[in-house]
């Protein structure tokens, strides 16, 4: 009799949502990072080590790659920043288990697109493709997902 086995959650099972709606599918997401550069402080009389004081945290832009969307509202939002209309949106990157249930993820706040790269054009594709979409945001945090 085999023991119950718990596999790790796989990196290719995820969804990206904006304002609670799944409006596009992406093959990869990068930039899920929060970093803090501490300030180095040298105290007089303490010669064996410097102090490291916490400063602001920051996150690099999120880069969503190889995406497809048929949402007109999403595409308008994406293209709207070019003429200077910045509309910030909250979103989530949700990690799914093998059954499609949410198991973890990340929430980003007040994001807007700063770079869009179009796809290779192909007559065999019927949807609007996005090669790369770069989003700046005002914060990234791990999500708490309720256990079943």
Picking from 138, 28, 130, the residue whose alpha carbon sits closest to that of residue 74 is 130
Has residue 49 been placed in a domain? yes
What number is the average pLDDT over the span 97-103?
A: 81
Q: What is the CATH number of the domain that holds 45?
A: 2.30.110
Residue 106 is predicted with a pLDDT of 93
Above 70 in pLDDT, residue 115?
yes
How many domains in the chain? 1
Which of the 8 DSSP states describes residue 100? Answer: S
| 61 found inside a domain | yes
Residue 55 has a pLDDT of: 94
Determine, yes or no, domain membership for 21. Answer: yes
Note whether residue 136 is domain-resident. yes
**7 in a structural domain:** no
As a whole number, the mean pLDDT across the chain is 82
The answer to the question of residue 44 being in a domain is: yes
Residue 100 lies in a domain: yes
The C-alpha atoms of residue 106 and residue 59 are separated, in whole angstroms, by 12
Q: Which of 40, 43, 68, 34 is nearest to 52 (CA)?
A: 40
Give percent of the chain above pLDDT 90. Answer: 34
Query: Taking the model in full, what pTM does it have?
Result: 0.74
E runs forming strands in the chain: 14-18, 25-30, 35-36, 39-41, 51-53, 57-58, 62-69, 89-96, 102-117, 128-136, 140-142
Domain membership of residue 83 as a residue range: 14-142
The 10s digit of each residue's pLDDT in 3-42 is 554 444 455 578 888 888 887 778 889 999 999 999 999 9
In a domain, 8, yes or no: no
């Amino acid at each position: 009799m085999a023991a119950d086995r718990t596999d790790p959650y796989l990196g290719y099972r995820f969804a990206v949502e904006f304002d609670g709606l799944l409006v596009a599918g992406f093959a990869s997401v990068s930039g899920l990072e929060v970093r803090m550069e501490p300030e180095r402080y040298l105290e007089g009389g303490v010669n064996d080590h410097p102090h490291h004081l916490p400063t602001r945290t920051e996150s690099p832009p999120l880069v969503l790659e190889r995406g497809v969307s048929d949402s007109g509202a999403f595409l308008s939002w994406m293209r709207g920043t070019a003429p200077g209309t910045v509309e910030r949106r909250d979103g989530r990157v949700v990690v799914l288990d093998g059954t499609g249930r949410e198991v973890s993820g990340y929430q980003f706040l007040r994001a807007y697109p700063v770079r869009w790269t179009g796809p290779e054009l192909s007559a065999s594709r019927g949807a609007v493709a996005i090669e790369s979409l770069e989003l700046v945001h005002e914060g990234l945090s791990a999500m708490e997902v309720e256990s079943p």
